[in-house]
Amino acid sequence: MNMQLTKSQIGLDGVPAAETVLSHVDGERGELIIAGDHVAELAAQSSFEGVTARLWNAASGRALTEANVRASLGAARERAFARLADLLPATPGLSIVDGFRAAIAALRAENGLEPEAVIVGAFPVIAGALVQRAAGGNAIAPDPTASHAADTLSMLLARKPAPRQVAALNAYFVTVCDHGMNASTFTTRVVASTQADLFAAIAAGYCALTGPLHGGAPEPVLEMLDAIGTRERIAPWVDAALARGERLMGFGHRIYKVRDPRADVLKTAIERLATNGTDLPFASEVETYIREALRREKPDRRLDTNVEFFTAILLDALGIPRQAFTPIFAVARAAGWTAHAREQQRTGRLIRPSSLYLGPKPAHVPD
Ligand code: ACO
């Protein structure tokens, strides 16, 4: 019998692969719950440290407070800065995305710090050092007393950020810190299920994040907006790209069949940022046209805006170089990855699916 898997089966569409208390995505209602609250409420009210405490507590039954996490991330940023000489040797000549991969592979356990904090604390220090080096400068020392969002911006921009910039990056961090069984989280959980340590699991998660079908999309979103350029060119540019069969970055999602709720949260954060450095009305016009064009061209597909469209605009408005967008996504998502890795390890169950063999079989050898 020549059985084959369907496209949905190959992509594991809709297959629950874990039980989790960390986050829930309802693709029909356009709803995202993180650690028990809707993403919009969390982004408006919580610090990244507060949400991280909730995720880590939920994953491993601890009772960390926001202040505990703020202190441990501050200490971990300092430790990572002191260890930069050990973390960066494999990175010269690599892009920021690839350099980040090489540097995080060199992270290891540190005395007196939980692995979760070592990882989440080190990520913005490494991203900052790579961004500064690409600009010809030296890494900026962290301030362990600052919030994670404020210190991340200082290290990236080499200046003290304005409070409204810190609020915008914090809203972004909270919005994208966890998101159900996305590809990078699943990867992280597979590695953690082998009882490999958190450093191995998170390095694998980051590798999965870098592809354009996942966390690598925001840089191409900006390239698309640059290529469109003017209002008059929106329709012809989008129509031609769709006619060529191209995917428009920042649109479509495996789970969301309506607009990704994170898109609205980030759009609000951009409006609050009120910067002259971005053309939100133009981007919104592009978004409106693309949504209409996708409905027209792919009426049975239910494609809508995903988080990456407004991620690109927000991070650009903050002055973060587009080459660093994926590592900055990882700074936030590391909170979720570490929690998922712990939750998975606690199950003690190896993730090991099967495959359908379609290759040749050995010729029958008679006895
Ligand atoms: N633009 C144009 N067409 C699209 C898009 C898009 N952005 N997304 C999906 N489609 C089309 C596909 O070409 C396909 O059409 P076909 O059946 O006629 O060939 C159909 O919609 C369904 O596509 P699938 O690949 O089955 O959808 P899937 O669930 O795998 O897609 C994905 C999800 C990968 C995110 C896809 O929508 C995509 O490539 N989007 C662009 C990249 C992007 O924005 N990535 C960030 C995702 S958010 C995140 O991970 C943080």
Number of H helices, E strands in the chain: 17, 3
- Closest by CA to 109, choosing from 152, 141, 80, 145, is 80
Amino acid 1: pLDDT? 52
**Cα 173 to ligand 1 centroid, rounded to whole Å:** 24
Across 72-86, 114-128, 197-211, 264-278, least confident range = 264-278
Cβ neighbours around 59 below 10 Å, total = 23
CA–centroid distance, residue 300 to ligand 1 (Å): 13
pLDDT of residue 108: 97
* Confidence label for 277 from pLDDT (cuts 50, 70 and 90): low
pLDDT band at 276 (very low <50, low <70, confident <90, very high): low
Cα gap 45→177, rounded to integer Å: 15
How many A from CA of 247 to the centre of ligand 1?
7
User: Residue 128, SS3?
Assistant: helix
The CA distance from 152 to 123, in Å, is 9
Measured from the CA of 254, which atom of ligand 1 is nearest?
29
pLDDT at 367: 72
Find out whether 51 and 42 touch, Cβ atoms under 8 Å.
Answer: yes
Condensed to tens digits (0 to 9), the pLDDT of residues 309-343 reads: 999 999 999 999 999 999 999 999 999 999 999 99
Nearest CA to ligand 1 atom 29: 254
Q: Are the C-beta atoms of 238 and 338 separated by less than 8 Å?
A: no
The CA 277 to ligand 1 mean position distance, Å, reads 29
The pair of structure tokens assigned to 84 is 């930069």
Tokens matching residue 35: 């650690």
Instruction: Kindly give the interhelix angle for 115-134 and 148-157, rounded to the nearest 10 degrees.
Output: 20
State the amino acid at position 72 in one-letter form. Answer: S
Q: Cα of 326 to ligand 1 centre, how many Å? A: 19
- Split at pLDDT 50, 70, 90, the class of 2 is low
For the chain, how long is the longest CA-to-CA vector? Answer: 80
What is the CA 74 to chain-centroid distance, rounded? 21
225 CA to middle of ligand 1, Å?
Answer: 18
pLDDT tens column, 249-270: 999 999 998 889 999 999 999 9
Active centre residues (catalytic): 253, 308
pLDDT of residue 299: 92
Output the CA angle 38-315-25, nearest 5 degrees. Answer: 25
Average pLDDT, the chain: 95
Rounded to whole angstroms, how far apart are CA atoms 335 and 330? 9
Which atom in ligand 1 lies closest to the alpha carbon of residue 247? 1
Mean pLDDT of 144-172: 97
Question: Residue 180: is its pLDDT beyond 60?
Answer: yes
Choose one of 32, 223, 239, 247 to mutate for the ligand 1 pocket test, by most ligand atoms within 8 angstroms of C-beta. Answer: 247
CATH number attached to the domain at 218-317: 1.10.230.10
pLDDT at position 20: 98
Distance 214 CA to ligand 1 centre (A): 10
∠ CA(314), CA(69), CA(43), 5° rounding? Answer: 30
How far is the C-alpha of 45 from the C-alpha of 41, rounded, in Å?
A: 6
CB 336 within 8 A of CB 177: yes
Number of other CB atoms surrounding residue 178 within 10 Å: 29
Per-residue three-class SS string for 209-262:
HCCCCCCCCHHHHHHHHHHHCCHHHHHHHHHHHHHCCCCCCCECCCCCCCCCHH
Nearest alpha carbon, ligand 1 atom 46: 214
Atom of ligand 1 nearest to the CA of 307: 48
Residue closest via CA to ligand 1's atom 30 equals 254
Q: How confident is the model at residue 280 (pLDDT cuts 50, 70, 90)?
A: confident
Token pair recorded at residue 121: 């604390």
Is pLDDT of 210 > 80?
A: yes
Q: What helix, strand, coil percent values describe the chain, rounded to 5?
A: 60, 5, 40
Least Cα distance to 275 among 168, 152, 171 occurs for 168
Residue nearest to atom 40 of ligand 1 (CA): 252
Among protein residues, the one whose CA lies closest to atom 28 of ligand 1: 254
**Best residue for ligand 1 mutational test, from 25, 213, 289 (most atoms within 8 Å of Cβ):** 213
What amino acid occupies position 159? R
Give CA 229 to chain center in angstroms.
27
CA-based nearest residue to 307, from 256, 271, 272: 256
Write the residue with the smallest CA distance to atom 47 of ligand 1.
214
pTM score of the predicted model: 0.95
pLDDT confidence band for 192 (50 / 70 / 90): very high
Closest CA to 255 of 15, 11, 25, 18: 25
Q: What are the pocket residues of ligand 1 if the criterion is a CB atom closer than 6 Å to any ligand atom? A: 11, 182, 212-215, 217, 247-254, 298, 301, 303, 306-308
- In whole angstroms, what is the distance from residue 314 CA to residue 164 CA? 12
Atom of ligand 1 lying closest to residue 182 CA: 50
CB 320, CB 328: distance < 8 Å: yes
Structure tokens at 351: 């993730």
pLDDT digits (tens, 9 = 90+) for 213-246: 999 999 999 999 999 999 999 999 999 999 999 9
